[in-house]
Amino acid sequence: MLTQRSRYALRAMLFLAEQPIAGAPVPMNRIAAEANVPRKFLELILADLREASFLVSTRGKMGGYRLARPAHLISLGEIIRVIEGPLALVPCVSRTAYRPCNDCKDEAACAIRRAMARVRDETARILDGTSLADAAAEELAAA
């Protein structure tokens, strides 16, 4: 399950994807209101996304946030990994945080591991293949 934190991050990033890339920074209060994200959570989420180089922030009265690169170059998978960590449902199939399962007798023959590896691969394919621009365009088409 995608956590509420990830949904907040995706909503905030989708809102920022709809803003002009060279436009003025968007204040946090506006992002919170437009993306329907509580400000206290948004502040922490935006800090994580800024640290991961997805956002650029500007301080001051006219400050705020904007995407660090074009929306078509940021995937949903990248955002989720920053907020959640690995996409794998079990640690033995994670590409970035591999750990053997404590109760597995034979990892090479494990049917659960094989199935979860397919789930991981398909999830990553879809999420990494969907950019913010793609998702924003789909959202606009559905409206």
pLDDT in tens, 89-133: 888 888 888 888 888 888 888 998 999 999 999 999 999 999 999
- Rounded CA-CA distance 86/84 in Å is 7
Instruction: Tell me, yes or no, whether 142 lies in a domain.
Output: no
Range of the domain at 52: 2-65
Boundary residue ending a domain (12, 34, 65)? 65
> Does 140 score more than 70 pLDDT?
no
Q: Are residues 99 and 131 in the same domain?
A: yes
d(CA 43, CA 50): 10
Q: What is the pLDDT of residues 10-64, one digit of tens each?
A: 999 999 999 987 889 999 999 999 999 999 999 999 999 999 999 999 998 888 9
Tell me: pLDDT of 138 over 80.
no
The C-alpha angle 10, 141, 45, rounded to 5 degrees, equals 10
Tell which of 65, 96, 112 closes a domain.
65
- pLDDT for the residue numbered 142: 60
